Chain A
Amino acid sequence: SQELEQSPQSLIVQEGKNLTINCTSSKTLYGLYWYKQKYGEGLIFLMMLQKGGEEKSHEKITAKLDEKKQQSSLHITASQPSHAGIYLCGADTGGYNKLIFGAGTRLAVHP
């Protein structure tokens, strides 16, 4: 969706390196979701953020929603090959939980 921009489009990192993926909305976010997708497979729920300034972590993945609720970042610490995949941010910009998605970030982690 043009309302939701993700960057970078693709990322190749060496195993053990940290990385950050950004998601920027042109509208106020009522909810911001991060999913991981393997090619042609389902979306795996990572986390959801709703409040400005909110930060959540799961294992080595941390996501933040900025105070103005229009931008989120996903940070992976000490990346592993198992982190490889497509990371999608999804956003509720209307308050009815109908999600629009960014174009995704393809992550490759080389041993």
Chain B
Amino acid sequence: AAGVIQSPRHLIKEKRETATLKCYPISRHDTVYWYQQGPGQDPQFLISFYEKMQSDKGSIPDRFSAQQFSDYHSELNMSSLELGDSALYFCASSAAFSYEQYFGPGTRLTVT
């Protein structure tokens, strides 16, 4: 079975630009989570969605927004990018009534 798909895999942006990261969960998974992993750090929870509604929020900057669409894919929109936003961004998904979170391969964002 296909795993979580993230696109793009790599992204290079300049400061103050915007970026959109996409996540396609595993089939029949209705919950999506976004995590940010800075260089040499552990992943930090950003935000999650269940059935297209935001279910929880972590340390997500106000410059970032996200949503989940009717087909359950999710997008993370990042504006006014800063150098400190350079990181690996992971999306994970889980199925209803199951807590097992499966992670995608990540999008490596580099802000120059």
Contact = CB atoms under 8 A, between A and B. Distances in A.
Interface of A: 1, 31, 33, 35, 40-45, 48, 50, 88, 90, 92, 96-104
Interface of B: 31, 33, 35, 42-45, 48, 55-56, 58, 88, 90, 92, 94, 99-106, 108
B42 A101 contact: yes
B33 A98 contact: yes
Contact of A31 (B45, B90, B99): B99
Given A48-B100, A97-B101, A98-B58, A42 B106 contact: yes
Interface of A is mostly: strand
Contacts of B88: 40
Contact of A45 (B42, B58, B102): B102
A50 B99 CA distance: 9
A84 to B, nearest CB: 18
Contacts of A40: 88, 108
Contacts of B103: 35, 42-45
A43 B99 contact: no
A61 to B, nearest CB: 16
A16 to B, nearest CB: 30
